[in-house]
């Protein structure tokens, strides 16, 4: 499964990225502002939950920790919902999002992300299964509770660590 639904049409003139929810200082950037933030480059392997992996990728963009810097996360908030254009969501612990290899990427192996692969901007979380790496991102919502995202509501694991093979949630 590469993505659910159609590739959303995104106009850079109206693109925005927001940080909302349990923060004292909500943030909002235009494309021009967002792409002027300090950049990082991350080299990683990626693992889809349905068995395939893609080795040795280089992504460049803005570190998730940089995006959250200055937002003043409220005490008690420990999770985030990532929101995408098109309606996709996924949930992550803030601690996983703050790892230094997590970024909102604009390029893959030196070229701008294609719409198919999440362009203009996608999340990349190398240490978790790739469904957590939301394509076409438009913002982060900081939360106190761990609200399941799109796949997580449909049986995928809340955490998704490939090394622990956290693919699907246990039925209960
Ligand atoms: N917005 C959005 N992001 C998404 C998905 C999706 O359905 N919608 N699918 C996820 C899944 S299951 C995978 S495996 C990867 C695929 O990324 P790729 O198309 O760049 O290989 O995107 C993830 N990000
Ligand atoms: Mo996937």
Domain parsing of the chain, residue ranges: 16-164
Which pLDDT value is given to residue 79?
A: 98
- Residue 170 clears pLDDT 70, i.e. is over it: no
Residue 171 pLDDT level (bands cut at 50, 70, 90) = low
- Residue 147 clears pLDDT 70, i.e. is over it: yes
Cβ of 106 closer than 6 Å to ligand 1, yes or no, is: no
Q: Rounded to the nearest whole angstrom, what is the distance from the C-alpha of residue 24 to the centroid of ligand 2?
A: 34
Q: For 23-58, what is each residue's pLDDT tens digit?
A: 999 999 999 999 999 999 999 999 988 778 999 999
Q: Is 154 helix (H, G, I), strand (E, B) or coil?
A: coil
Ligand 1 atom at minimum distance from 84 CA: 1
Cβ of 72 closer than 6 Å to ligand 1, yes or no, is: no
Residue of the CA atom closest to atom 23 of ligand 1: 131
Please tell me the least confidently modeled range out of 93-102, 135-144, 149-158: 149-158
> What CATH superfamily is the domain 16-164?
Oxidoreductase, molybdopterin-binding domain (3.90.420.10)
- Residue 127 clears pLDDT 70, i.e. is over it: yes
Which pLDDT value is given to residue 40?
A: 98
Q: Using an 8 Å Cβ cutoff, are 168 and 160 in contact?
A: no
Q: Using an 8 Å Cβ cutoff, are 149 and 159 in contact?
A: no
Q: How far apart are the first and last CA of the chain?
A: 25
What is the residue-averaged pLDDT of the chain?
94
Q: Rounded to the nearest whole angstrom, what is the distance from the C-alpha of residue 14 to the centroid of ligand 2?
A: 28
Q: Rounded to the nearest whole angstrom, what is the distance from the C-alpha of residue 3 to the centroid of ligand 1?
A: 4
Distance CA 152, CA 36 (A): 33
CA nearest neighbour of 27 among 84, 83, 85, 67: 67
Cβ of 129 closer than 6 Å to ligand 1, yes or no, is: no
Distance CA 139, CA 141 (A): 7
Segment 64-76 mean pLDDT: 96
Ligand 1 atom at minimum distance from 52 CA: 14
């Amino acid at each position: 499964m590469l993505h659910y639904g159609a590739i959303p049409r995104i106009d850079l003139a109206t693109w925005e990225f927001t940080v909302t929810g349990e923060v004292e200082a909500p943030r909002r950037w235009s494309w021009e502002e967002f792409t002027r933030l300090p950049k990082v480059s991350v080299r990683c392997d990626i693992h889809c939950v349905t068995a395939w992996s893609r080795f040795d990728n280089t992504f460049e963009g803005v570190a998730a920790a940089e995006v959250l810097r200055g937002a003043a996360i409220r005490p008690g908030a420990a999770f985030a919902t990532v929101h995408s254009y098109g309606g996709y969501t996924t949930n992550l612990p803030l601690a996983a999002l703050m790892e230094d290899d997590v970024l909102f990427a604009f390029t893959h192996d030196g070229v701008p992300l294609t719409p198919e692969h999440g362009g203009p901007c996608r999340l990349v979380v190398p240490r978790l299964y790739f469904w957590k790496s939301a394509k076409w991102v438009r913002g982060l919502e900081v939360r106190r509770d761990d609200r399941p995202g799109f796949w997580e509501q449909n049986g995928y694991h809340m955490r998704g660590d490939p090394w622990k093979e956290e693919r699907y949630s246990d039925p209960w």
